[in-house]
């Protein structure tokens, strides 16, 4: 069913169109530009964030050091170190 040819729909649309106001033009003379100020703490944070982004995701020196220790048989972490590192990745209610 087409509703566009219905005279009642056309009357409703005509009424709506007559009540809609056109946007008014605004005189732009004397309008000031927006300004933004960044605090010193925000600047410091931005510098620190940029420095952090430049860091490598994997510390190759540390990985090589541990690989060499494993290969030579001198890498012997304690059970507590292993558990603490494993529990950092998992959220427990409390440590046992």
The residues near 95 (Cβ < 8 Å, ≥ 6 apart) are: 87
Distance CA 87, CA 92 (A): 7
- pLDDT digit of tens for each residue in the chain (96 aa)? 556 677 777 777 777 777 666 777 776 666 678 888 889 999 999 999 999 999 888 888 889 999 999 999 998 888 998 888 888 777 766 655
Give the Cα separation of 64 and 71 in Å (integer): 10
The 10 Å Cβ neighbour count of residue 48 is: 10
d(CA 74, CA 66): 9
């Amino acid at each position: 069913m087409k509703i566009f040819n219905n005279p009642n729909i056309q009357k409703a649309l005509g009424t709506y169109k007559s009540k809609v106001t056109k946007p008014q033009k605004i005189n732009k003379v004397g309008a000031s530009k927006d300004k933004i100020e960044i605090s010193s703490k925000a600047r410091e944070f931005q510098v620190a964030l940029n420095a952090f982004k430049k860091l490598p995701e994997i510390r190759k020196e540390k990985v090589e050091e541990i690989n060499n220790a494993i290969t030579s048989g001198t890498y012997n972490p304690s059970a507590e170190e292993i558990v603490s590192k494993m529990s950092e990745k998992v959220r427990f209610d409390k440590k046992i």
